[in-house]
């Protein structure tokens, strides 16, 4: 079993760190709100630290799941950051969805310090984290991935190395691009069904078994019909992710017209007060318009 540190105990990180402890690893956690780290340690029997540096001391692998580029830079590179506490040849695994730019920056800094670095963004939402069935897409050196994979398996349904450093983040962008179009399409289908006087549940029961079926349809149609969105992946976070996608598309020359349009639809949802609603709340915008 490994000695681990886990940085960031949000709706994803809290259960992920719990799976690591349940798998028999020694786990020390850090969270910006210290009371949450203390609560995790009380619940799971691990330890907690007051800084990322303190959590990282003596760890074989340090894992993170924080908010954005600046948060990740802080937990890695600040005076009290993890890199300052990690020993030579220790490995940093980042599960945050961030830009490929910051991933390259941190990979380079890690290598200069004699550390390994794997970008390993995740998909599957809060339920996937709680049930230990996340999809994990990784970038980095093959030898570093080989060390990370058996640890990540504690909360993954699939964990795959896609390529060199940054490839994991690029793959997560593909994931968010696909989700944006799917959720908008599902929203329009359910909105259309309602306007046509159809039973939305019956419609989904039939079409989910054919070519229209998707995870979003199976897992989100009921709450969309019920107008219940106080769960899941927040619109604010989706807009952060789509912003990364669109910025990267500008840099690479990719064309993302549907993604750009849906991003503006999510902006409408934010202006409706839905920044913390689940991403499936796109359907509420159609109600407002319709």
286 SS3 class: helix
- At residue 160, φ and ψ (nearest 5 deg) are -135, 135
226 SS3 class: coil
Q: What percent of the chain has pLDDT over 90?
A: 96
| Cβ contacts of 208 within 8 Å, gap of 6 or more | 214, 217, 218, 221
CA atoms within 13 A on the CB side of 152: 30
The structure tokens listed for 118 are 């794997």
- At residue 210, φ and ψ (nearest 5 deg) are -115, -155
Residues 189 and 285 in one domain: yes
pTM for the structure as a whole: 0.93
Residues 184 and 273 in one domain: yes
Q: pLDDT tens digits, residue range 5-56?
A: 999 999 999 999 999 999 999 999 999 999 999 999 999 999 999 999 999 9
Residues 257 and 211 in one domain: yes
97: CATH: 3.40.50.720
208: CATH: 1.10.1040.10
Q: pLDDT tens digits, residue range 117-134?
A: 999 999 998 999 999 999
Contact 98, 166 (CB under 8 A): no
- Can you name the residues that pair with 61 across neighbouring β-strands? 4, 91
Which residue among 114, 145, 163 closes a domain? 163
Asked whether the predicted pLDDT for residue 145 surpasses 90, the reply is yes
Structural domain harbouring 239 = 170-289
- Candidates 99, 121, 138, 106; CA nearest to 240 is 99
Residues 176 and 124 in one domain: no
Q: pLDDT tens digits, residue range 50-69?
A: 999 999 999 999 999 999 99
- Can you name the residues that pair with 94 across neighbouring β-strands? 64, 119
Quote the pLDDT of residue 289: 55
Residues 213 and 177 in one domain: yes
* Mean pLDDT calculated for residue range 107-117: 98
**Looking at the annotation, which residues are catalytic?**
172
Please report which confidence band the pLDDT of residue 232 belongs to, taking 50, 70 and 90 as the band edges. Answer: confident
Which residue among 143, 163, 183 closes a domain? 163
d(CA 224, CA 277): 11
- The maximal CA–CA distance of the chain, rounded, in angstroms, is 65
d(CA 21, CA 15): 10
Residues 135 and 197 in one domain: no
Angle at 232 between CA 227 and CA 234, to 5 degrees: 90
DSSP state letter for 210: T
The structure tokens listed for 240 are 């952060």
Which residue among 104, 129, 163 closes a domain? 163
Residues 252 and 124 in one domain: no
Residues 88 and 39 in one domain: yes
Q: How many C-beta neighbours within 10 Å does residue 127 have?
A: 14
Residues 42 and 182 in one domain: no
Residues 39 and 122 in one domain: yes
Contact 31, 75 (CB under 8 A): no
* Mean pLDDT calculated for residue range 262-267: 98
* Residue 264 burial (10 A CB sphere; 0-12, 13-18, 19+): exposed
- The structural domain count of the chain equals 2
DSSP state letter for 31: -
Residues 245 and 140 in one domain: no
Quote the pLDDT of residue 290: 47
Residues 220 and 152 in one domain: no
Where does the chain have alpha helices with state H?
13-22, 34-44, 52-56, 69-77, 82-85, 100-112, 125-131, 142-152, 167-195, 200-207, 215-225, 235-252, 257-271, 282-289
DSSP state letter for 87: P
- Candidates 99, 107, 119; CA nearest to 249 is 99
Q: pLDDT tens digits, residue range 182-220?
A: 999 999 999 999 999 999 999 999 999 999 999 999 999
Contact 207, 185 (CB under 8 A): no
For 139, the enclosing helix (H) or strand (E) is strand 134-139
């Amino acid at each position: 079993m490994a000695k681990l540190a886990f940085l960031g105990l949000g709706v994803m990180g809290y259960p992920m760190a719990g799976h690591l402890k349940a798998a028999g690893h020694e786990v020390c956690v850090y969270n910006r709100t210290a009371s949450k780290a203390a609560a995790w340690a009380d619940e799971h029997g691990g330890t907690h630290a007051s800084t990322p540096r303190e959590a990282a001391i003596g760890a074989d692998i340090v894992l993170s799941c924080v908010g954005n580029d600046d948060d990740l830079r802080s937990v890695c590179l600040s005076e009290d950051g993890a890199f300052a506490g990690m020993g030579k040849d220790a490995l940093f695994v980042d599960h945050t969805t961030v830009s490929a730019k910051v991933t390259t920056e941190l990979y380079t800094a890690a290598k200069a310090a004699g550390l390994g670095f794997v970008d390993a963004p995740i998909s599957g939402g809060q339920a996937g984290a709680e049930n230990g069935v996340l999809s994990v897409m990784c970038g980095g050196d093959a030898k570093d991935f080989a060390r990370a994979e058996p640890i990540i398996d504690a909360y993954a349904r699939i964990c795959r190395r896609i390529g060199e450093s940054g490839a994991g983040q690029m793959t997560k962008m593909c994931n968010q691009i696909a989700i944006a179009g799917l959720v908008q399409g599902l929203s329009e289908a359910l909105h259309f069904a309602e306007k046509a006087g159809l039973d939305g549940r019956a419609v989904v029961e039939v079409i989910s078994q054919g070519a229209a079926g998707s995870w979003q349809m199976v897992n989100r149609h009921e709450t969309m019909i019920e107008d219940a969105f106080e769960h899941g992946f927040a619109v604010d976070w989706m807009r952060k992710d789509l912003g990364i996608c669109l910025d990267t598309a500008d840099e690479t020359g990719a064309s993302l017209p549907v993604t750009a349009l849906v991003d503006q639809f999510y902006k409408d949802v934010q202006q409706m007060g839905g920044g913390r609603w689940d991403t499936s709340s796109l359907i509420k915008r159609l109600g407002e318009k319709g």
